[in-house]
Amino acid sequence: MKFELQYSDTKTNARAGLITTDHGIIETPIFMPVGTQGAVKAVHMPELKDDIKAQIILGNTYHLYLRPGLDILEKAGGLHKFNGWDRPILTDSGGFQVFSLSENRKLREEGAEFRSHIDGSKHLFTPEKVMDIERTIGADIIMAFDECCPGDAEYDYAKQSLGLTERWLDRCFKRFNETEPKYGYQQSLFPIVQGCVYPELRIRAAENVAAKEADGNAIGGLAVGEPTEKMYEMIELVNGILPKDKPRYLMGVGTPINILEAIERGVDMFDCIMPTRNGRNGQIFTPFGTMNMRNKKWEYDFSPIDPEGPSFVDRIYSKAYLHHLIKVNEILGLQIASIHNLAFYLWLVKEARKHIIAGDFPIWKTQMVRQMDNRL
């Protein structure tokens, strides 16, 4: 994997670059739709490529390991062949999913023992096993196995957790370097900076991660319960240490405003379930604020969802029609909302890139944050 830093904003830390993988080029900053179980919910691959304009999508190690299972994925020739997506894929290591199973998992030096949320069966994820699983899934970018501690964790717990994550990281790199890709193209391993909201721990973690000289680096453990201001503070702190010539990936964040704030602080890559999850609950993101399509105010509004929107759904369907579909829980309504929101997120990062290159990113960003912070 190669990263070319093309433009840097002179007044902020915003950047525009190119990531080159064996499955194609990614223009940064970029948002990556989440396809947890091998599919972005309610969206076909042609819609992802041609309408939403996704350049890279995510899969999740924990979920794909449980279903469909490694045997099927390997026989298919990896996730790309299995789901029909021929552009880059990133896999999260499952660390966050194991973290979220707090009542059904035990952490120890060897790894994380957990019970499946599907059938209660017992499993053990070690750093070595996670690397083997991600080799079998076959994503272009794979994540190290870490512990994601809560945003409100006490210092002593966060320090202990970071120590475990760092020891696991060494084991991840050892296993990664001992093995080869399975399907004839290269894979890149990204380490993850943890450390909760404690500057001392984040600095230590970022320095340790930077020393790995990986193809790219990730910032994890944010947007998990800590105040938004703390999240921005940690991003700024970490990005002051992570190498400038490697892409920086902020995991699981967030709202459109979060994304612009993080771009301003030097982040290149994002993912979040919010566009699809919130869309399925009737929330629509636009450049001028959010709309709750369950609200009665849209019942007789026959204007397009977003006449200037980037997706075909924005122009051919009305607010009244989408209100009706969401209200009656019609699957088409969930699809329309998901497609709209994903297309909007991809449009937003593309516009950010355009304004970084044009040299007026700070002015544009300030205006967009003000507009998007409205309820319509």
Residues contributing to the annotated binding site for substrate: 92-96, 146, 194, 221
Query: Tokens for 302?
Result: 């026959």
What is the distance of C-alpha 258 from the center of its chain?
13
* CA triple 105-107-113, angle to 5 deg: 50
Known binding residues are 92-96, 146, 194, 221
Query: Tokens for 312?
Result: 């075909």
Q: Are strands 30-32 and 24-28 parallel, antiparallel or unpaired?
A: unpaired
Catalytic-residue membership of 271: yes
Number of neighbouring beta carbons within 10 Å of residue 249:
23
* CA triple 46-135-259, angle to 5 deg: 55
Q: Which residue has the tokens 């930077």?
A: 210
Residues in the chain: 376
Catalytic-residue membership of 92: yes
Exposure string (b/e) for 186-206, b if CB count within 10 Å is 16 or more?
A: ebbbbbbbbbbbbeebbbbbb
Q: Are strands 248-250 and 217-219 parallel, antiparallel or unpaired?
A: parallel
**Dihedral sign, CA of 92, 336, 351, 50?**
positive
User: In a 3-state reduction of DSSP, which class is residue 357?
Assistant: helix
Query: Tokens for 158?
Result: 């966060």
Active site residue: 51, 140, 215, 271, which one?
271
User: In a 3-state reduction of DSSP, which class is residue 24?
Assistant: strand
For the annotated catalytic residues, the residue numbers are 92, 271
